[in-house]
Every structure is written in C-alpha cells, then in structure tokens.
Structure 1
Amino acid sequence: MQKKVIVKEATFDDVVKVNKTILEFDTSYNKEYFKERCGDKKRLIIVSYLQVHIKELPIGYIVAYDRFGKGSFYCWMAAVDPKYRGKGALKAMIKYLETWAKKKGYRQLRIKTRNRRREMLNYLVKYGYNFVDVIKKEDILENRILLQKEI
C-alpha cells in the first residue's frame, strides 16, 4: 500500500478538525480562537495529509503568521496526530513553510515550544533552528523556548 504525505494550504476549519486529534493540547480550539490570534496579519495555514491510494487523511497542521514583523515569520502552532508521527508530516510542512516564507521576502522563521516537547525541540535543533530566548515558568518543563532559523 503506497502512502505519501502531501501538504496543502488550508482553512481554519481544516485546522480545527486536525486539532481535535492532538492529545498534548489541553483544549480543542475553535475557528474563532485561531482567527483572533492571527488577526489581520499575513498568515499561512497548511494541513498535511497522508495519501493512501486516492484517499487523503488529514494528519497535521501549521498556523503561522507575521507576529513580530522585522523580516521574521512566526510558526505559532504546529502539530501532528500522534498516530501518524514519524511519517514525514512535520518535515514536509516545515519545508513548505520555509519555502513559502522565503518567497514572500521573510528572512527568518521563529517558533516557540516548551521544554516538555522534547520531540519538537530535537527536530528543530536537528534542522537548523537556534535558541534565541527562554521565557521562564514556575514549572521548568513549561518554560517557553523561542527558536529561530535564517532562511
């Protein structure tokens, strides 16, 4: 059975469907939450699909927007359904995001994650992201870590 990961630009409705499968998130966010967070800033919404024969199963998403300005594009939320991790969805989405942002004139990508998200931290370091800031929380595992990559 031939399986392939594909990435497509999407809507907040598409993201909400995939978001419900992400067990690490405490809340299942609605469309209004995503829209409010991004506001009227330039944004990119993508969903990764696992293609099995002619069927496309949504398995991950990225919501990114121009949060900081100054030539950087911010990846606010990135997630892959735990049942489908390790199949290349995150790598395909990050590559799409990097290519898109570079074409739009951005020079850097920024992403924030938490100390407890070890898989994400490992991935980002492996693919050239550097630590630029740490926002400390009472629980060290909840510290927010801001990473950046020149594109």
Structure 2
Amino acid sequence: MTANIVFWDAPLTDQQLIRLTLLTEKVFGPLTKDRIKNKLKDKSAISVIIATNDSDDVLGFKIGFEATPNTYYSWLGAVAPSQQRKGLGKQLMVAQHMWCIHQGYQFVETKTLNKWRSMLLLNIRSGFDITGTREDDVHGTEILLRKRLKQ
C-alpha cells in the first residue's frame, strides 16, 4: 500500500486531534487530545505530518516544534500496528527532516524509551546519535538523541 503524505496546519482541529489520538491509543495507550493541545500550546514552527491511505485513514504521523532557533524537536510520532516495519516511519521521518532543512534548522532532537526498540533503531539508522539519558518518574529511562541535518 502506498501512503499519501500530507501536512496539517496548526493549530489542529478537534477532529484532527481525535484522529491522532485513535492511532496513539493503538500504539502507546491513552493519550488525550487535550494533552496534545497543551503540549503544542505556545510552541512555534509546529509541523504535523500525516500518512494516510486512499480512504483517508491515518496510518501514521509525526509532530514536532522548534526547540531553539537552530534545533527542531521531533516530539511525537506513531505508525499503525498494521503498517509497522514497512518503511512508513522512515518515510515520515524523511518528510519531517526535509521540512526542517527547508526551514533552516541545523539539528533535530528527539527522545524515546528503551522499550520502543524499533523507534530507537530507526533513529540510529537514520543518523541520530545518542546524546544522553534522563530518568523520568513516569516512564523510566529516556534516551536522548540528536541528528545534524545535511543542508
């Protein structure tokens, strides 16, 4: 199946947020639309990249925002379980990184958890370096990653 990559403008509508939370529940467990709204509130340069099928079902997405004037933070991404290990996560990442380059960012940062091994490996294979770890009371050890974008 070929995915269509589209960009949604921020702020997201309630309907768009519902579509994203339906997917995140399948991948990560409950994540409310209010949590997404609150995280993105007051952020700049928000990108919302969506992969859909021909029926407009959301198959995956990546959301990010500016961390500093030269660094973009890739905050949240997910791929539907039925579409995992088919290259869709990589396709979304490439789209996000190309967008970042066109916006003038030099770096992308993200974080993940050890339990999300496929995400960690995708990041490493895509040129991210592990820059550290941080203990989180809720999630345990977070792995911090950074990639220099090729201009």
- Normalised TM-score (structure 1): 0.84
Gaps of 5+ in 1: none
Gaps of 5+ in 2: none
Q: Which residue of 2 aligns with 1:9?
A: 7
Q: Label 1:16 to 1:112 Cα distance change in 2 as closer, same or farther (>3 A).
A: farther
CA positional deviation for 1:136:
2.3
Q: Which residue of 2 aligns with 1:78?
A: 77
Q: Which residue of 2 aligns with 1:59?
A: 59
**1:20 corresponds to 2:4:** no
CA positional deviation for 1:138:
6.5
Q: Which residue of 2 aligns with 1:29?
A: 32
CA deviation string 1:57-105 (max 9, x = no partner): 3111111001x21411001101111111122221111011000011101
Task: For 1:20 and 1:56, locate their aligned partners in 2 and report how far apart those are by CA, in whole Å.
Answer: 14
CA positional deviation for 1:17:
1.1
Taking only the aligned residue pairs, the percentage that are identical comes to 19
Look up the equivalent residue of 2:103 and give its one-letter code: K
- The DSSP-based 3-state class of the residue aligned with 1:21 is helix
RMSD, aligned CA:
2.0
Q: Which residue of 2 aligns with 1:113?
A: 112
- Normalised TM-score (structure 2): 0.84
**1:48 corresponds to 2:64:** no
Q: Label 1:42 to 1:59 Cα distance change in 2 as closer, same or farther (>3 A).
A: same
